[in-house]
Amino acid sequence: MTLPDLLLATLVMAIWGFNFVVAKVGVGELDGLLLTGLRFALVAALLIPFYRPHWRQMKTLAMLSVTLGVVHFGLLFVGLQGIDAATSAIVIQLQVPFSALLAFLLFKERLGIGRFAGMALAFLGVVLLAGEPQRIELFGLVLVVISALGFALSTMVMKSTGGMHPLAITGGVCLLGAPQLLLLSAIFETGQFDKMANASWIGWGAVAYTAIFASVVAHSLWYRLVRRYPVNVIVPFSLLAPVLGILSSIAILGEPFGLHKAMGAVCTLSGVALIQYLSTRKPA
């Protein structure tokens, strides 16, 4: 990988890592479902004029709008209202072992003892986080775990997207997902108009950052790198996002990082790294 592309990959991971901090601050002013719905509406407005999905692809995009839009992003942002950003950055990595498990169950892909060990290690890390001596809201933790499962389900659905441009998928999912998220916000959350009217630049900045930088800019740059390099070169960079998310949460938000959280992070990220390594390794 060339130095400019190495720096570009690191920049993308920094954007996604910092996104946990921005989202955590944002849900303090705009509730999780409301913030996600506004984010999706803005992403759709930015992408749909340039990347329009075909009507025959709407069934797949509709499924993704539920699994990726509502379950993954919606529950992640709601979960962030109950747990800290560093914990969410760790727990959401369960999307990797969940994806491996679903691929085994649905597509009979080989799991192997190595991937199984990685899955066990990743889940052990989350158990350690749940047992942290400091108070942690288990409901929020469970929501983020389900959010990770939602992403894993989405990867299975994406297998049927064919040759769709990734930004067309993102735009289509956001177009169909925004009304669902805003409707769910109207049902389960209160005072939406007051919160939007009283939100500071921090709340609206969170909407802008998660939509423009974390969605449009980062995905555009990442797609460019994915087209240019083999998977086994690109995938290891994905572990930078949670690490940078943890570091920025500690540095900016002042979140505590005790022994339980450190052990949980090491276990989960090591398990994820093992699964990714075995998944991208070329057969001998």
Per-residue pLDDT tens over the stretch 134-145: 667 889 999 999
Of 69-83, 91-105, 126-140, 191-205, which range is least confident?
126-140
Position 283 scores a pLDDT of: 46
Contacts of range 165-168, beta carbons closer than 8 Å, 24 or more positions apart: 165/51, 166/219, 166/223, 167/47, 167/50, 167/51, 167/216, 167/219, 167/220, 167/223, 168/47, 168/51, 168/52, 168/53, 168/57
Confidence of residue 284 (pLDDT cuts 50, 70, 90): very low
Query: What's the mean per-residue pLDDT of the chain?
Result: 91
> Which range in 17-31, 53-67, 111-125, 221-235 is most confidently predicted, on average pLDDT?
17-31
pLDDT at 259 over 80: yes
CB atoms within 10 A of CB 59: 10
CB atoms within 10 A of CB 184: 18
Helix (H, G, I), strand (E, B) or coil at 187: helix
pLDDT at 76 over 60: yes
Overall average pLDDT of the 121-129 stretch: 92
d(CA 1, CA 21): 29
Per-residue pLDDT tens over the stretch 176-188: 999 999 999 999 9
Tokens of 114: 């190595």
Position 106 scores a pLDDT of: 87
pLDDT at 110 over 90: no
Overall average pLDDT of the 265-282 stretch: 88
d(CA 93, CA 71): 15
Contact 123, 97 (CB under 8 A): yes
What are the sequence ranges of the domains in the chain? 3-280
Position 85 scores a pLDDT of: 95
Contact 174, 66 (CB under 8 A): no
Overall average pLDDT of the 100-125 stretch: 90
d(CA 43, CA 34): 14
Overall average pLDDT of the 13-19 stretch: 96
The pTM of the full predicted model, rounded to 2 decimals, is 0.92
Overall average pLDDT of the 214-242 stretch: 89
Contact 278, 117 (CB under 8 A): no
d(CA 13, CA 56): 33
pLDDT at 251 over 80: yes
Those residues with Cβ within 8 angstroms of residue 188's Cβ, 6 or more apart along the chain or in another chain: 33
